[in-house]
Structure 1
Amino acid sequence: MAENVTPIGRLLKPHGIKGEMTLLFDRRSYSDIDVSYYFLEIDGIFVPFFVEEIRFTNDTTARVKFEGVDDVATATRYADLRVYLPKESLTVADEETETGWDFFVGYTIIDQTLGNLGVVEAVDNATMNVLFAVKRNNSEYLIPATEDFILEIDEQEKILHVDLPQGLIEESTE
Protein backbone atom coordinates (compact mmCIF):
# COMPACT_ATOMS: atom_id res chain seq x y z
CA MET A 1 0.00 0.00 0.00
CA ALA A 2 2.87 2.41 0.79
CA GLU A 3 3.81 2.52 -2.90
CA ASN A 4 0.26 3.66 -3.74
CA VAL A 5 0.19 6.73 -1.49
CA THR A 6 2.14 9.98 -1.30
CA PRO A 7 2.73 12.07 1.83
CA ILE A 8 1.06 15.46 1.39
CA GLY A 9 1.27 16.99 4.85
CA ARG A 10 1.02 16.40 8.56
CA LEU A 11 -1.47 16.93 11.33
CA LEU A 12 -0.52 19.45 13.96
CA LYS A 13 -2.22 20.04 17.29
CA PRO A 14 -5.97 19.79 17.86
CA HIS A 15 -7.95 23.00 17.41
CA GLY A 16 -10.88 23.62 19.73
CA ILE A 17 -12.73 20.97 21.71
CA LYS A 18 -14.76 19.19 19.03
CA GLY A 19 -11.97 17.14 17.41
CA GLU A 20 -10.84 19.63 14.78
CA MET A 21 -7.14 19.45 13.86
CA THR A 22 -4.73 21.67 11.99
CA LEU A 23 -3.47 20.13 8.73
CA LEU A 24 -0.25 21.58 7.32
CA PHE A 25 0.19 20.75 3.63
CA ASP A 26 3.74 20.16 2.33
CA ARG A 27 2.97 22.10 -0.85
CA ARG A 28 0.35 24.64 -1.79
CA SER A 29 -0.76 22.47 -4.72
CA TYR A 30 -1.73 19.65 -2.33
CA SER A 31 -4.27 21.90 -0.61
CA ASP A 32 -6.00 22.45 -3.97
CA ILE A 33 -6.88 18.77 -4.32
CA ASP A 34 -10.52 18.19 -3.40
CA VAL A 35 -10.88 14.82 -1.66
CA SER A 36 -13.37 13.19 0.69
CA TYR A 37 -10.74 11.32 2.71
CA TYR A 38 -7.06 11.27 3.68
CA PHE A 39 -4.92 8.37 4.86
CA LEU A 40 -3.09 8.42 8.19
CA GLU A 41 -0.36 5.87 8.87
CA ILE A 42 -1.14 4.17 12.17
CA ASP A 43 1.09 1.30 13.30
CA GLY A 44 2.32 0.79 9.73
CA ILE A 45 -1.20 0.62 8.28
CA PHE A 46 -2.69 3.34 6.08
CA VAL A 47 -6.13 4.06 7.54
CA PRO A 48 -8.64 6.23 5.64
CA PHE A 49 -10.15 9.15 7.57
CA PHE A 50 -13.19 10.73 5.97
CA VAL A 51 -13.45 14.51 5.99
CA GLU A 52 -16.51 15.85 7.75
CA GLU A 53 -15.49 19.47 7.32
CA ILE A 54 -12.41 21.38 6.14
CA ARG A 55 -11.74 25.13 6.41
CA PHE A 56 -8.61 26.71 4.98
CA THR A 57 -6.79 29.25 7.12
CA ASN A 58 -4.20 30.06 4.41
CA ASP A 59 -2.70 28.50 1.26
CA THR A 60 -1.01 25.62 3.09
CA THR A 61 -2.98 25.21 6.32
CA ALA A 62 -6.50 24.01 7.02
CA ARG A 63 -8.60 23.02 9.98
CA VAL A 64 -9.96 19.56 9.32
CA LYS A 65 -12.67 17.64 11.16
CA PHE A 66 -12.66 13.89 10.50
CA GLU A 67 -15.71 11.67 10.95
CA GLY A 68 -15.53 9.88 14.31
CA VAL A 69 -13.01 12.31 15.80
CA ASP A 70 -15.28 14.28 18.09
CA ASP A 71 -13.16 15.44 21.03
CA VAL A 72 -9.71 16.76 21.97
CA ALA A 73 -8.55 13.45 23.46
CA THR A 74 -9.21 11.56 20.22
CA ALA A 75 -7.72 14.32 18.06
CA THR A 76 -4.58 14.43 20.23
CA ARG A 77 -3.87 10.77 19.37
CA TYR A 78 -3.46 11.78 15.73
CA ALA A 79 -1.33 14.91 16.27
CA ASP A 80 2.02 14.85 14.43
CA LEU A 81 0.97 12.04 12.07
CA ARG A 82 1.80 12.27 8.36
CA VAL A 83 -1.16 12.66 6.01
CA TYR A 84 -1.29 10.79 2.69
CA LEU A 85 -3.30 10.72 -0.51
CA PRO A 86 -3.53 8.02 -3.18
CA LYS A 87 -0.99 8.71 -5.93
CA GLU A 88 -3.76 8.80 -8.52
CA SER A 89 -5.16 11.89 -6.73
CA LEU A 90 -1.97 13.77 -7.53
CA THR A 91 -0.78 14.87 -10.93
CA VAL A 92 2.73 15.53 -12.16
CA ALA A 93 1.55 18.97 -13.25
CA ASP A 94 0.83 19.90 -9.63
CA GLU A 95 4.37 19.00 -8.63
CA GLU A 96 5.94 20.90 -11.51
CA THR A 97 3.96 24.10 -11.05
CA GLU A 98 4.87 24.57 -7.38
CA THR A 99 6.82 27.79 -7.14
CA GLY A 100 7.84 30.29 -4.55
CA TRP A 101 9.20 30.17 -1.05
CA ASP A 102 6.07 28.42 0.31
CA PHE A 103 7.58 25.24 -1.11
CA PHE A 104 9.89 25.15 1.93
CA VAL A 105 7.15 25.11 4.60
CA GLY A 106 7.81 21.96 6.62
CA TYR A 107 11.53 21.88 5.79
CA THR A 108 14.13 21.71 8.56
CA ILE A 109 16.74 24.47 8.35
CA ILE A 110 20.28 23.43 9.22
CA ASP A 111 22.94 26.13 9.43
CA GLN A 112 26.53 25.02 8.79
CA THR A 113 27.70 26.79 11.99
CA LEU A 114 24.71 26.71 14.37
CA GLY A 115 23.23 23.35 13.34
CA ASN A 116 19.49 22.63 13.45
CA LEU A 117 17.55 25.89 13.66
CA GLY A 118 14.10 24.31 13.43
CA VAL A 119 11.26 23.80 10.97
CA VAL A 120 9.85 26.39 8.58
CA GLU A 121 6.30 26.91 9.90
CA ALA A 122 5.30 29.69 7.50
CA VAL A 123 6.56 32.17 4.93
CA ASP A 124 6.10 35.89 5.59
CA ASN A 125 5.93 37.68 2.27
CA ALA A 126 4.10 40.76 3.52
CA THR A 127 7.17 42.90 2.81
CA MET A 128 9.67 43.03 -0.02
CA ASN A 129 12.06 40.89 2.05
CA VAL A 130 10.52 37.41 2.27
CA LEU A 131 11.15 35.68 5.61
CA PHE A 132 10.95 32.09 6.83
CA ALA A 133 9.14 31.79 10.17
CA VAL A 134 11.14 29.03 11.84
CA LYS A 135 10.17 27.31 15.08
CA ARG A 136 12.24 25.04 17.31
CA ASN A 137 11.11 24.07 20.80
CA ASN A 138 9.99 27.37 22.36
CA SER A 139 12.04 29.59 20.06
CA GLU A 140 10.87 31.31 16.90
CA TYR A 141 13.13 32.95 14.34
CA LEU A 142 12.62 35.02 11.23
CA ILE A 143 15.23 34.09 8.65
CA PRO A 144 15.59 35.89 5.31
CA ALA A 145 14.49 33.67 2.43
CA THR A 146 17.24 34.30 -0.06
CA GLU A 147 19.21 32.10 -2.41
CA ASP A 148 22.38 33.81 -1.14
CA PHE A 149 22.19 31.83 2.13
CA ILE A 150 21.15 28.44 0.71
CA LEU A 151 23.94 25.88 0.31
CA GLU A 152 21.91 22.77 -0.50
CA ILE A 153 18.29 21.63 -0.78
CA ASP A 154 17.52 18.03 0.17
CA GLU A 155 13.98 17.48 -1.12
CA GLN A 156 13.85 13.83 -0.08
CA GLU A 157 14.69 14.54 3.58
CA LYS A 158 13.06 18.01 3.49
CA ILE A 159 16.22 19.77 4.73
CA LEU A 160 17.44 23.22 3.74
CA HIS A 161 21.18 23.60 4.38
CA VAL A 162 22.13 27.25 4.86
CA ASP A 163 25.06 29.47 5.76
CA LEU A 164 23.63 32.42 7.67
CA PRO A 165 25.68 35.52 8.44
CA GLN A 166 27.16 35.57 11.93
CA GLY A 167 24.90 37.38 14.41
CA LEU A 168 21.69 36.92 12.42
CA ILE A 169 20.52 34.26 14.89
CA GLU A 170 21.38 34.19 18.57
CA GLU A 171 24.10 31.60 19.27
CA SER A 172 21.97 29.94 22.00
CA THR A 173 19.74 27.82 19.73
CA GLU A 174 19.68 24.85 22.13
Structure 2
Amino acid sequence: MLITIGKVQKTHGVKGEIKIEPLTDHRSRFSGLRRVYLTSSRGESRECAVRSVRYMDGTPVLLLKGYDSPEKARELNGWLVQIPQEEAVPLPEGQYYWFELVGMEVLSEAGEKLGTIVDIFETGSNDVYVMKAGRKEVYLPATKDVIRQIDRAAKRMVIHVMEGLLD
Protein backbone atom coordinates (compact mmCIF):
# COMPACT_ATOMS: atom_id res chain seq x y z
CA MET A 1 0.00 0.00 0.00
CA LEU A 2 1.25 3.49 -0.85
CA ILE A 3 0.90 6.50 1.42
CA THR A 4 0.92 10.09 0.25
CA ILE A 5 3.66 12.33 1.65
CA GLY A 6 3.40 15.30 -0.69
CA LYS A 7 2.05 16.93 -3.82
CA VAL A 8 4.03 18.40 -6.72
CA GLN A 9 3.52 22.19 -6.65
CA LYS A 10 5.56 23.39 -9.62
CA THR A 11 8.91 23.20 -11.32
CA HIS A 12 11.94 25.07 -10.05
CA GLY A 13 15.00 26.16 -12.01
CA VAL A 14 16.32 24.89 -15.33
CA LYS A 15 17.30 21.31 -14.34
CA GLY A 16 13.75 19.96 -13.98
CA GLU A 17 13.54 20.12 -10.20
CA ILE A 18 10.08 20.04 -8.63
CA LYS A 19 8.87 21.79 -5.47
CA ILE A 20 6.82 19.58 -3.18
CA GLU A 21 4.00 20.61 -0.86
CA PRO A 22 4.59 18.30 2.13
CA LEU A 23 1.51 16.41 3.30
CA THR A 24 3.34 15.00 6.29
CA ASP A 25 4.39 16.33 9.68
CA HIS A 26 7.87 14.92 8.99
CA ARG A 27 9.28 17.32 6.37
CA SER A 28 12.78 15.93 6.85
CA ARG A 29 11.57 12.51 5.65
CA PHE A 30 12.19 13.61 2.04
CA SER A 31 15.96 13.69 2.67
CA GLY A 32 16.51 9.94 2.54
CA LEU A 33 14.28 9.16 -0.43
CA ARG A 34 15.76 6.97 -3.15
CA ARG A 35 12.52 6.40 -5.05
CA VAL A 36 8.97 7.71 -5.05
CA TYR A 37 5.72 6.83 -6.73
CA LEU A 38 3.86 9.61 -8.47
CA THR A 39 0.11 9.40 -9.04
CA SER A 40 -1.99 11.75 -11.16
CA SER A 41 -5.59 12.75 -10.52
CA ARG A 42 -6.50 10.42 -13.41
CA GLY A 43 -4.96 7.45 -11.57
CA GLU A 44 -1.84 7.20 -13.73
CA SER A 45 1.13 6.07 -11.64
CA ARG A 46 4.90 6.14 -12.17
CA GLU A 47 7.84 4.92 -10.12
CA CYS A 48 10.73 7.38 -10.19
CA ALA A 49 14.28 7.27 -8.85
CA VAL A 50 15.21 10.33 -6.79
CA ARG A 51 18.47 11.88 -7.98
CA SER A 52 18.65 14.62 -5.35
CA VAL A 53 16.71 16.29 -2.55
CA ARG A 54 17.29 19.74 -1.15
CA TYR A 55 15.24 22.24 0.82
CA MET A 56 14.42 25.79 -0.17
CA ASP A 57 12.97 27.81 2.73
CA GLY A 58 11.84 24.51 4.28
CA THR A 59 10.16 23.28 1.09
CA PRO A 60 11.47 20.01 -0.37
CA VAL A 61 12.84 20.30 -3.91
CA LEU A 62 13.36 16.99 -5.74
CA LEU A 63 15.20 16.09 -8.92
CA LEU A 64 13.87 12.87 -10.43
CA LYS A 65 15.60 10.62 -12.94
CA GLY A 66 14.06 11.10 -16.39
CA TYR A 67 12.85 14.64 -15.65
CA ASP A 68 15.85 16.75 -16.62
CA SER A 69 14.09 19.83 -18.00
CA PRO A 70 11.40 22.20 -16.70
CA GLU A 71 9.18 21.22 -19.63
CA LYS A 72 9.35 17.52 -18.79
CA ALA A 73 8.95 18.12 -15.04
CA ARG A 74 5.94 20.41 -15.60
CA GLU A 75 3.95 17.28 -16.61
CA LEU A 76 4.02 16.30 -12.92
CA ASN A 77 2.35 19.44 -11.53
CA GLY A 78 -0.44 18.38 -9.17
CA TRP A 79 0.67 14.73 -8.95
CA LEU A 80 0.81 13.06 -5.54
CA VAL A 81 4.18 11.94 -4.16
CA GLN A 82 3.85 8.54 -2.48
CA ILE A 83 5.99 5.94 -0.76
CA PRO A 84 5.38 2.34 0.35
CA GLN A 85 3.67 2.17 3.74
CA GLU A 86 6.60 0.25 5.23
CA GLU A 87 8.85 3.28 4.58
CA ALA A 88 6.75 5.56 6.80
CA VAL A 89 8.59 7.25 9.65
CA PRO A 90 7.99 5.20 12.84
CA LEU A 91 5.81 7.10 15.30
CA PRO A 92 6.16 7.22 19.07
CA GLU A 93 3.88 5.03 21.19
CA GLY A 94 0.33 6.40 21.24
CA GLN A 95 0.59 8.20 17.88
CA TYR A 96 -0.96 6.85 14.70
CA TYR A 97 -1.05 7.57 11.02
CA TRP A 98 -4.53 8.31 9.72
CA PHE A 99 -4.27 5.46 7.20
CA GLU A 100 -3.85 3.07 10.16
CA LEU A 101 -7.10 4.25 11.76
CA VAL A 102 -9.42 4.46 8.76
CA GLY A 103 -11.26 1.15 8.48
CA MET A 104 -10.90 0.29 12.18
CA GLU A 105 -13.84 -1.35 13.89
CA VAL A 106 -15.11 0.71 16.85
CA LEU A 107 -16.27 -1.03 20.04
CA SER A 108 -17.69 0.26 23.30
CA GLU A 109 -15.89 -0.59 26.54
CA ALA A 110 -18.56 -3.29 26.99
CA GLY A 111 -17.51 -4.88 23.67
CA GLU A 112 -20.54 -3.70 21.67
CA LYS A 113 -19.79 -3.11 17.98
CA LEU A 114 -20.60 0.52 17.21
CA GLY A 115 -19.28 1.18 13.72
CA THR A 116 -16.21 1.80 11.57
CA ILE A 117 -13.83 4.76 11.25
CA VAL A 118 -14.36 6.17 7.73
CA ASP A 119 -12.61 9.53 7.90
CA ILE A 120 -10.54 11.84 10.10
CA PHE A 121 -10.21 15.60 10.22
CA GLU A 122 -8.20 18.11 12.21
CA THR A 123 -9.56 20.76 14.53
CA GLY A 124 -7.64 23.32 16.51
CA SER A 125 -7.36 21.21 19.63
CA ASN A 126 -7.55 17.56 18.51
CA ASP A 127 -8.33 15.28 15.60
CA VAL A 128 -11.87 14.03 15.11
CA TYR A 129 -12.57 10.47 13.96
CA VAL A 130 -15.66 10.02 11.81
CA MET A 131 -17.40 6.75 12.66
CA LYS A 132 -20.02 5.28 10.33
CA ALA A 133 -22.71 3.76 12.56
CA GLY A 134 -25.45 2.30 10.40
CA ARG A 135 -26.73 5.17 8.25
CA LYS A 136 -25.35 7.98 10.37
CA GLU A 137 -21.93 9.43 11.01
CA VAL A 138 -20.75 10.06 14.55
CA TYR A 139 -17.87 12.41 15.35
CA LEU A 140 -15.49 11.01 17.95
CA PRO A 141 -13.05 13.49 19.49
CA ALA A 142 -9.58 11.94 19.57
CA THR A 143 -9.10 12.54 23.28
CA LYS A 144 -8.16 10.24 26.15
CA ASP A 145 -11.65 10.76 27.61
CA VAL A 146 -13.20 9.08 24.56
CA ILE A 147 -10.55 6.89 22.91
CA ARG A 148 -9.59 4.20 25.40
CA GLN A 149 -7.58 1.76 23.30
CA ILE A 150 -6.29 1.39 19.76
CA ASP A 151 -5.11 -2.01 18.55
CA ARG A 152 -3.31 -1.65 15.22
CA ALA A 153 -2.91 -5.40 14.68
CA ALA A 154 -6.59 -6.19 15.28
CA LYS A 155 -7.74 -2.98 13.49
CA ARG A 156 -9.91 -2.22 16.53
CA MET A 157 -10.62 0.88 18.61
CA VAL A 158 -12.35 0.88 22.00
CA ILE A 159 -14.18 4.04 23.06
CA HIS A 160 -15.87 5.34 26.18
CA VAL A 161 -19.46 6.17 25.20
CA MET A 162 -20.11 9.45 26.98
CA GLU A 163 -23.68 10.64 27.39
CA GLY A 164 -24.93 12.13 24.10
CA LEU A 165 -21.95 10.93 22.05
CA LEU A 166 -23.95 8.59 19.83
CA ASP A 167 -27.07 10.80 19.53
**Structure label with greater radius of gyration:** 2
- Quick check: which one's helix share is greater? 1
Per the alignment, residue 48 of structure 1 pairs with 47
**Residue 86 (structure 1) shift:** 0.4
Per the alignment, residue 68 of structure 2 pairs with 70
Question: Contact between 1:6 and 1:85, CA under 8 Å: does it hold in 2?
Answer: yes
Q: Measured at CA, do residues 53 and 92 of structure 1 come closer, stay the same or move farther in structure 2, by a change above 3 Å?
A: closer
**Residue 27 (structure 1) shift:** 1.9
Once superposed, which parts of structure 1, at least 4 consecutive aligned residues long, lie more than 6 Å away? Answer: 151-156
**TM-score, structure 2 length as denominator?**
0.51
Matched, 1:11 2:37: no
Question: Contact between 2:29 and 2:89, CA under 8 Å: does it hold in 1?
Answer: no
Question: Contact between 1:11 and 1:83, CA under 8 Å: does it hold in 2?
Answer: yes
**TM-score, structure 1 length as denominator?**
0.49
Per the alignment, residue 137 of structure 1 pairs with none
Per the alignment, residue 26 of structure 2 pairs with 29
- Paired with 1:96 and 1:81, the residues of 2 have a C-alpha distance of 28
**Residue 45 (structure 1) shift:** 3.9
Residue type at the aligned position of 1:50? A
Residue type at the aligned position of 2:69? D
- Paired with 1:66 and 1:41, the residues of 2 have a C-alpha distance of 14
- Paired with 2:80 and 2:129, the residues of 1 have a C-alpha distance of 16
What are the residue-to-residue correspondences of 1:1-174 with 2, within 5 Å?
Answer: 4-32=1-29, 34-42=32-40, 43-59=42-58, 61-93=59-91, 96=95
Residue type at the aligned position of 1:21? I
Q: Measured at CA, do residues 88 and 97 of structure 1 come closer, stay the same or move farther in structure 2, by a change above 3 Å?
A: closer
Per the alignment, residue 135 of structure 2 pairs with none
**Residue 82 (structure 1) shift:** 0.9
**Residue 56 (structure 1) shift:** 1.5
Per the alignment, residue 109 of structure 1 pairs with none
